[in-house]
Each structure stands twice: as C-alpha cells, then as structure tokens.
C-alpha cells in the first residue's frame, strides 16, 4: 500500500521534531526552558471558564456550521473597535486560525496553484498548502533588514499564471516584523493589479510594540472583495486549546463557498464557542496589559541578543517571536547540543531552528526562532543560558 505523494512530501513540523531531545534532557534531570513554541504562559481570562460553567442545556448539540451567532456578533463588535465593519454573513467561525487558513486556501486554489508567502513564515503554512497540493512561492526577506518586504518589482517577478494569493502573518510569526503602511499598500496594489487574493493572518493583531502604527488589511480601502482576514482566540486571549478562529471577508462568493467546507465538518465545538464569546467581551484593558507584558519580555530577549558578539537581529516590533542569526554554522546542531550536552546549574533552553521556516533550501541554517512566552524571570535565565551556551559551543 502506498500513501499519497502529497502527504509524503509534507514537511515534518520543525518545531516539534526536536521534542524527543528535550524529553531526554528532562529525564536526565535538567530543567528545560521552552522558547521553541508559541504557547504563552499568560492566564486565559476567567470569563472563558465561567461562561461555560453557566451552560446547562441537557444536550451538547451541534452548533451552526457558520458558527454561533453570539460569537459572530461578539467578533463584529470587536472589529468595530478597529473601525472594521462586518455583517453576520461576512464572518465564519473555524477550528482555530488553522482551519480558517486551510479553508481559505482550498477555496481559492486548485492543485498546482501558487501562493506567494514572505519567508521565513509560520511553518504550518506548508501543511495547509502541501496537504492540498498548492505550492508556496517564497518572497525572501532577511534578518539584516528586519524581515521587511523587498520592493514591488521583486515581488511581482514571482507571479505566474498559477499565482492566486499572497499569504502572510502580520505581526509576523516567526519574525516579529510589523509591516509598515507603505508595505501594506504595496501588497494591496500588487493584489489589485494581478487579480490576487490577500490572506492576512492577523492573529497577533494586539501584539505591536513601541506605539508603532499598525495597519490591518481590514482597514485598506478599495480591495475589500479580495481581502480575507484570519483571526483566532489562541494568542489574543491565551486560549490555544480552545481551538476557535474565524474568517472575515466581504466577498460573498468566497464566504458562500467556504460555508460548504464548514458544512462538511458540521460545526466548531459548542462549548468553546460560548467561552470564546465571553473572551471577545473581555475589557480591552486585558489586551493592553498583555501587550505591556510582552513588550517587557521582548526587551529582555533583544537586550541579551544585542549583547552577544556576532548576533544579527533587528529589534522585533510585534507578535512574541524573534528570529536571530547566530555566530554559528548549524542552528539545529546547536539546539540539540544545548539539550544534550550543556546545562547551566542543571538548566538549559530550547529554541526552534529557523531553517524549517524557510521554503528556500539553505536559508536560515544559522538562525533560531525565540518565542518569548515565559515570565520575565524565566526569560532572563533562559537568555543567560543562551549567552553562556553560545560561548561554550563556539569554543568546543
């Protein structure tokens, strides 16, 4: 028996594949600080569990395929706070941002079609596209210029008659980049002139630092029929396990077609939608507090990185990640070494080697992604371990 070429060609998660080394380190008695995955330690607002406790229907029924109207309306209100105006039939609730991305790609692309994605990118974009035989054409960006976009001409050179969309996360995972208004307008122009969809993954919308102006694709005028906004409660409300995301789009045909996909998987979990509705009603002050917390963490990580000779990394301005180029040759080897052969007073740290976030072979070999998802004290210790670890690794 043979499995499909499609599934065989899919990349193993570069974030999860080193987990056995971390498990072995823990078994040997080491404490491991996990800066390798985007699982925040921030407490989920209590409103989530409280609202579920109040549920006392005798049966947990299927919800509507498009999502619970109460949740859809809570999201409509949330968007209004950003001056984005959607109606009930322009939003679909999905199993996390992940399903929103998968459905958007299935609805837009046929097998063999192409999507432009700035690299390095969130690795699961490989899974969503590869699983349905769609190809990612990378727009290469680099640590040296803070992972900002190249100019319009360079991007347009990548467009073929198979290109259907531009997909990116903004603020960016893994780079922490926040695109400027000019970059957003450039992408909008490219989309209009080349008849492309924009899939704007804005699950980190609230995590923008230094009072930087943030331009959402939901606020760009004149192209709303080709803009698809992806959102999620996972990071916004630190509710990754709730698995609630959404798609918002003004293109009625797109929504109509995606609804068929929603119908085929019946619905999103009923109780979690109740919890997510409560989350979207949480006072905005919660998000401001979380922003301040991540801002402090970002500063800790960046200060340590800046103090290490040979590290290349612009100060990230969003999300809770940074990609740093280290003065070594093979980041994966370094990450494994940190877990297997190194400790500082019985403790070590884990990062994600960044090569897996690139589609272009050979890029990112000496880069790691650091997720600043731990409290300040742990983060300081973890970054100190990186500093000493790098010194020792280089002297081997």
Ligand X SMILES: Cc1ncc(COP(=O)(O)O)c(C=O)c1O
Question: Which of 240, 259, 328, 363 is close enough to bind ligand X by CB under 6 A?
Answer: 240
Total site size for ligand X, rule CB under 6 A: 13
Stretch that binds ligand X, among 94-102, 248-256, 257-265, 374-382 (CB under 6 A): 94-102
* CA distance readout (Å), 212 to 81, 109, 178: 18, 34, 9
Q: How many CA atoms lie within 13 A of 359 on its CB side?
A: 21
CB 210, min distance to ligand X, A: 20
Residue 224 CB, shortest distance to ligand X, in Å, is 21
Omega before residue 120 within 30° of 0, cis: yes
- Give me the least distance between CB of 394 and ligand X, in Å please: 31
Contact map string, positions 106 to 125, toward ligand X, x by CB under 6 A? ----------------x---
Please tell me the distance from the alpha carbon of residue 75 to that of residue 88, in angstroms, as a whole number: 9
Please state, in angstroms and rounded to a whole number, the distance separating the CA atoms of residues 266 and 95: 11
State how far the Cα of 172 lies from the Cα of 205, in Å rounded to an integer. Answer: 10
CB of 238 to ligand X, least distance (A): 11
Binding to ligand X in span 352-391, by CB under 6 A: none
User: Is residue 42 near ligand X by the rule CB under 6 A?
Assistant: no
**Per-residue x/- track, 248-287, ligand X (CB under 6 A):** ----------------------------------------
Point out the residue whose Cβ comes nearest to ligand X.
96
Residue closer to ligand X (CB basis): 98 or 348? 98
Residues 6+ apart with CB under 8 A from 287: 206, 236
Task: Pick from 109, 203, 228, 305 the residue near ligand X by CB under 6 A.
Answer: 203
Select the span of 93-101, 140-148, 158-166, 340-348 touching ligand X (CB under 6 A). Answer: 93-101
Give residues 128-187 in contact with ligand X (rule: CB under 6 A): 169, 173
Instruction: Mark residues 8-37: x for contact with ligand X by CB under 6 A, - for none.
Output: ------------------------------
Q: Decide: is 234 part of the binding site for ligand X (CB under 6 A).
A: yes
Q: Compute the least distance from the CB of residue 73 to ligand X, in Å.
A: 20
Minimum distance of ligand X from residue 201's CB (angstroms): 5
Distance CA 30, CA 13 (A): 24
Query: Binding to ligand X by residue 201, rule CB under 6 A?
Result: yes
Q: Among 14, 40, 67, 96, which residue interacts with ligand X (rule: CB under 6 A)?
A: 96
d(CA 237, CA 42): 8
Bridge partners for 245 per DSSP: 94, 232
Could you tell me how many residues make up the chain?
Answer: 396
Window contacting ligand X (CB under 6 A); options: 232-240, 252-260, 335-343, 366-374: 232-240
Backbone angles phi, psi at 108, to 5 degrees: -90, -35
| Closest approach of ligand X to the CB of residue 205, in Å | 11
User: What is the C-alpha to C-alpha distance for residues 197 and 162, in angstroms, rounded to an integer?
Assistant: 13
Interface positions with ligand X (CB under 6 A) = 38, 96-98, 122, 169, 173, 201, 203, 232, 234, 240, 245
């Amino acid at each position: 028996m043979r499995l499909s070429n499609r599934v065989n060609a899919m990349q193993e998660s570069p974030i999860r594949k080193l987990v056995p080394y971390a498990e072995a380190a823990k078994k040997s008695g080491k404490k491991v600080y996990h800066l390798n995955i985007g699982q925040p330690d921030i407490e989920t607002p209590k409103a989530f569990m409280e609202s579920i406790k109040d549920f006392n229907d005798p049966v947990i029924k299927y919800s509507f395929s498009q999502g619970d109207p109460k949740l859809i309306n809570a999201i409509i209100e949330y968007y209004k706070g950003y001056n984005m105006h959607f109606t009930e039939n322009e939003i679909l609730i999905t199993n996390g941002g992940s399903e929103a991305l998968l459905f958007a790609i299935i609805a837009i692309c046929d097998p063999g079609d192409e999507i432009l994605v700035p690299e390095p990118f969130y690795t699961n974009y490989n899974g969503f596209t590869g699983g349905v035989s769609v190809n990612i054409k990378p727009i290469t960006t680099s640590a040296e210029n803070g992972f900002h976009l190249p100019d319009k001409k360079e991007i347009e050179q990548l467009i073929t008659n198979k290109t259907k969309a531009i997909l990116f996360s903004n603020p960016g995972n893994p780079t922490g980049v926040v695109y400027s208004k000019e970059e957003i307008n450039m992408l909008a122009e490219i989309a209009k002139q080349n008849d492309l969809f924009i899939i704007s993954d804005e699950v980190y919308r609230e995590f923008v630092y230094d009072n930087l102006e943030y331009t959402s694709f939901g606020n760009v005028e004149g192209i709303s029929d080709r803009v698809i906004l992806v959102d999620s409660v996972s990071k916004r409300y630190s509710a990754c396990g709730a698995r609630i995301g959404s798609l918002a789009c003004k293109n009625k045909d797109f929504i109509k077609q995606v609804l068929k996909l929603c119908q085929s998987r019946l619905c999103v979990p009923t109780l979690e939608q109740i919890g997510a509705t409560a989350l979207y009603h949480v006072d905005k002050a919660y998000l401001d507090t979380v922003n301040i917390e991540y801002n402090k963490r970002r500063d800790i990580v960046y200060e340590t990185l800046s103090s290490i000779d040979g590290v290349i990394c612009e100060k990230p301005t969003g999300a809770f990640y940074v990609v740093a180029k280290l003065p070594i040759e093979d980041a994966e080897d370094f990450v494994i070494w940190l877990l297997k052969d190194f400790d500082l007073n019985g403790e070590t740290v884990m990062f994600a080697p960044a090569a897996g976030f690139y589609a272009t072979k050979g890029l990112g070999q000496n880069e790691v992604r650091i997720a600043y998802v731990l409290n300040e004290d742990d983060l300081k210790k973890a970054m100190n371990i990186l500093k000493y670890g790098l010194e020792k690794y280089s002297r081997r």
